Amino acid sequence: SLLPRPLGTLVRRQLSQCMCVLLKAEGRALVPLLDALISALTKACKEAKVPGADNIKCNALSCMEALLRDFGVLCAGRLGEIYTLAAKGCLKGEKEDPVVRTAALCVLVAIVRHGGSSAQIHHEDALKVCKLVVHDKQSANV
């Protein structure tokens, strides 16, 4: 219910940390819970097509980054879906809010750092996306 609201960076970070603490407290059936949560966050991102929906995308991407950071390999079943969403968030160009692009880049970094061996297929693709973003920024500054 907090996803559509405009949250600042600190509140967004607290929301994602609280979500991870709640999941860690569960202990049992963690993989199905993670799977359901990631699919809900992905659905929220994909359905956020109205103007001003950048808050929803940014909040969801921030939560995904925290899940990857804390649970890494347990999210392996959804890494492809998460990668696709983050890559689209990075490569939208000038239409995308810079905060959303930054959150998407942080998700890509989390995939590479915490995805383990299951994320190896995405390493090279994530590097290409990061290079494209840097190239876009350099050509925009020229």
Contact between 118 and 79 under an 8 Å Cβ cutoff? The reply is: yes
Average pLDDT, integer, range 130-134 = 81
CA distance 28 to 18: 18
How far the first Cα of the chain sits from its last, in Å, is 42
The whole-number pLDDT of residue 52 equals 63
Confidence of residue 16 (pLDDT cuts 50, 70, 90): confident
**Model pLDDT for residues 63-77, shown as the tens digit of each residue:** 888 888 888 888 878
- At 140, the amino acid letter reads A
Residue 82 has pLDDT above 70, yes or no: yes
Average pLDDT, integer, range 103-116 = 85
Average pLDDT, integer, range 55-60 = 82
Contact between 10 and 53 under an 8 Å Cβ cutoff? The reply is: no
What is the value of pTM for the model shown?
Answer: 0.80
Confidence of residue 2 (pLDDT cuts 50, 70, 90): very low
**H-helix segments, 1-142:** 9-26, 30-47, 54-71, 79-90, 98-114, 120-141
Contact between 88 and 45 under an 8 Å Cβ cutoff? The reply is: no
**Model pLDDT for residues 26-51, shown as the tens digit of each residue:** 777 787 888 888 888 888 877 776 66
- At 93, the amino acid letter reads G
Percent of the chain with pLDDT over 70: 87
Residues sharing a CB contact under 8 Å with residue 118, sequence separation 6 or more, in sequence order = 73, 76, 79
